[in-house]
A and B are shown apart, each in its own frame.
Chain A
Amino acid sequence: MNNFIKQTKYLILRRITQFAVIFLYFAGNIWGWQILTGNLSSSQLLTIVPLSDPFAVMQMFFAGAAISIDVIIGALIVTSVYAIIGGRVFCSWVCPINPITDLANYLRRKFEFNKITKRQPSTRNIRFWVLGLSFVLSFFLLVPAFEFISPISMVHRGIIFGLGFTWAVVLVIFFFDMFVLKNGWCGHICPLGAFYGIVGKFSLIRVFHDVEKCTECMKCKEVCPEVQVLPMIAKNTGQVSDSACTNCGRCLDVCEEEGALSFSILGKNS
């Protein structure tokens, strides 16, 4: 039991934050709780603190909307928090799509799909193109373009305000990640993840690897959803420098040796 908790500590913590966030928004709508009202696009914390999705606000800017002070402050708050704790912390600790793609990933490993198709046919840089495309389309279509197709807000909004056909979107993403491309949505396409990756370029919390304690089991590389951020495993001591890392902590969970992988503050070398 102790072992189980040790091996799933961050996973459980993440599921708790993910579902707590959704639940608080849900309660805001259904029972009028005032802890979090709105949804991930824009919301209010305890009726005072505005929070807004900075990526959505940027699309609004490109769409030519007059942007209110409230959303600018909200976007700045969200941006600064993620810039400090790690941009893509959003992806693994908050985003409602994460449990879905995690499940697809888990099943891929379970059924050993990864051994059948080893080569990934596509570059992870596609997401930056999609990010750029979001702005270009927002500019020409005069609406925040990604917000019209974003499965993230669809799922999140769906849970709070009524699902509609969102289940179909969820299934498509699930099957895409499971059968078509490993880490397909979160690791290759999602422009919001790309955006938060840029935001967290200089974030403070980093996974640290101590090569002397490493047993070279390579389990971390097996579970990591952004495996290119772990080039130093079993080679040298150091921190993850690639901001594609979502700080999900799965590598820490599965690590065999206490202290071979740990969370650290930016700048730690030894």
Chain B
Amino acid sequence: MTERREFILNSIKTAGLVSLAGLTWSAYVDEVTAKTLILRPPGALSEPDFLSTCIKCGMCVEACANRDTKPKNAEPTLLLAKTGSNRPIGTPYFMPRDEPCYMCPEIPCVPVCPTGALDENIVSTKNKLDINKAKMGLAIVDKQNCIAYWGIQCDACYRACPLLDKAITIEYSQNKRTGKHSYLKPIVHANHCTGCGLCELACVTEKPAIFVLPLAIALGKVGDHYIKGWDKEDEKRVKNAKARLNKTDINKKSAIDNLNDAGDLY
């Protein structure tokens, strides 16, 4: 009898300890994986898939640090999130203002990934690695603090962009304030921008007025309600449209009866 009671009590005690541990443990993991403002190496899966697949071995970071094409004196681009860095610990990321991705054509960081969290297929065209297909993020211009939008001549980001005149173009417009100058405004094109962050590094303002955000944060989503009818590619989306249909029962009474019988408004 006492033996059985002891066993049951001990089991419940252990279960209590384990649930206490589970609570703190899951709270920490939940908190740290909720951090989506983090730039991943090229070829990374979507953030939730990346977090479940990355084994935190750091081989991408090593490949980045020891690459042949590294500019002299450059620090390694990729970092491995340290303990207490408030990022998903042990996962690779980079901070363009410190060290951007130099878009090595051979992409040393991707093929070394043992788990496929960095997927070669994402950065390949016709089975050949193609860094221009990388989508690490998207550069966003803060028009309020970009001095080119003030009318001061600056094309630092435009010149720094490895996809010159594709990912960033310059739009000219008249500067009505002076009446005789032009604005040379940088415009980022999401379909070409790889999110390498060379523009963020080059930006001359104290805190960069052009900066890279993860795609999931930088981009909106149109949904199925709007289709570019003039674009054959985009029109294909109609076929898979899953728009919600809201059905409201139509009142069977005549319109006048309906209004008269509605009762008092207040």
**Is the C-beta of B163 less than 8 angstroms from some C-beta in chain A?**
no
A36 to nearest B CB, angstroms? Answer: 11
- Interchain CB contact under 8 A, B115 and A60: yes
In Å, the complex CA distance between A71 and B117 comes to 11
In Å, the complex CA distance between A164 and B80 comes to 10
Q: Which of A42, A145, A166 contacts B115 (CB 8 A)?
A: A42
**Is the C-beta of A43 less than 8 angstroms from some C-beta in chain B?**
yes
Q: A164 and B85 in contact (CB under 8 A), knowing A66-B116, A141-B30? A: yes
Chain B 75-110 against A: per-residue CB contact (8 Å), 1 yes, 0 no? 000011011110011100000000000000000000
- Interchain CB contact under 8 A, A165 and B29: no
- Interchain CB contact under 8 A, B59 and A44: yes
**Is the C-beta of A203 less than 8 angstroms from some C-beta in chain B?**
no
Q: Name which of B50-58, B208-216, B223-231, B252-260 contacts chain A.
A: B50-58
Q: Chain A residue with minimal CB distance to B67?
A: A32
- Interchain CB contact under 8 A, A149 and B29: yes
**Is the C-beta of A267 less than 8 angstroms from some C-beta in chain B?**
no
- Interchain CB contact under 8 A, A133 and B90: no
**Is the C-beta of A234 less than 8 angstroms from some C-beta in chain B?**
no
Q: Chain A residue with minimal CB distance to B56?
A: A41
- Interchain CB contact under 8 A, B114 and A50: yes
Q: Name which of A6-14, A104-112, A123-131 contacts chain B.
A: A123-131
Q: Which of A38, A60, A130 contacts B62 (CB 8 A)?
A: A38
Q: A133 and B61 in contact (CB under 8 A), knowing A142-B51, A161-B82? A: no
- Interchain CB contact under 8 A, B52 and A65: yes
Which residues in window 104-160 of A have CB below 8 A to B? 123, 125-126, 129-130, 133, 136-137, 140-145, 147-149, 153-154, 157-158, 160
**Is the C-beta of A16 less than 8 angstroms from some C-beta in chain B?**
no
- Interchain CB contact under 8 A, A41 and B80: no
Q: Name which of A51-59, A80-88, A207-215 contacts chain B.
A: A51-59
- Interchain CB contact under 8 A, A149 and B80: no
**Is the C-beta of A162 less than 8 angstroms from some C-beta in chain B?**
yes
In Å, the complex CA distance between A112 and B223 comes to 70
- Interchain CB contact under 8 A, A68 and B56: no
**Is the C-beta of B127 less than 8 angstroms from some C-beta in chain A?**
no
- Interchain CB contact under 8 A, A74 and B114: yes
- Interchain CB contact under 8 A, A148 and B55: no
**Is the C-beta of B173 less than 8 angstroms from some C-beta in chain A?**
no
**Is the C-beta of B241 less than 8 angstroms from some C-beta in chain A?**
no
**Is the C-beta of B12 less than 8 angstroms from some C-beta in chain A?**
no
Q: Name which of B17-25, B132-140, B189-197, B243-251 contacts chain A.
A: B17-25
Query: How many of A's residues come within 8 Å of B, CB to CB?
Result: 55
- Interchain CB contact under 8 A, A66 and B57: no
- Interchain CB contact under 8 A, B88 and A60: no
In Å, the complex CA distance between A153 and B54 comes to 14
Q: Which of B17, B52, B80, B114 contacts A143 (CB 8 A)?
A: B52
- Interchain CB contact under 8 A, A126 and B114: no
**Is the C-beta of B33 less than 8 angstroms from some C-beta in chain A?**
yes
- Interchain CB contact under 8 A, A143 and B51: yes
In Å, the complex CA distance between A56 and B117 comes to 14
**Is the C-beta of A35 less than 8 angstroms from some C-beta in chain B?**
no
- Interchain CB contact under 8 A, A65 and B26: no
User: In the complex, which residues of chain B have a beta carbon less than 8 angstroms from the beta carbon of A41?
Assistant: 55-57, 90
Q: Chain B residue with minimal CB distance to A63?
A: B52
In Å, the complex CA distance between A14 and B89 comes to 28
Most chain A beta-carbon contacts within 10 A, residue among B59, B88, B114: B114
User: In the complex, which residues of chain B have a beta carbon less than 8 angstroms from the beta carbon of A56?
Assistant: 55-56
Which residues in window 27-48 of A have CB below 8 A to B? 28-29, 32, 37-39, 41-44
Q: A157 and B56 in contact (CB under 8 A), knowing A140-B26, A163-B83, A165-B83? A: yes
User: In the complex, which residues of chain A have a beta carbon less than 8 angstroms from the beta carbon of B10?
Assistant: 123
User: In the complex, which residues of chain B have a beta carbon less than 8 angstroms from the beta carbon of A44?
Assistant: 59, 112, 114
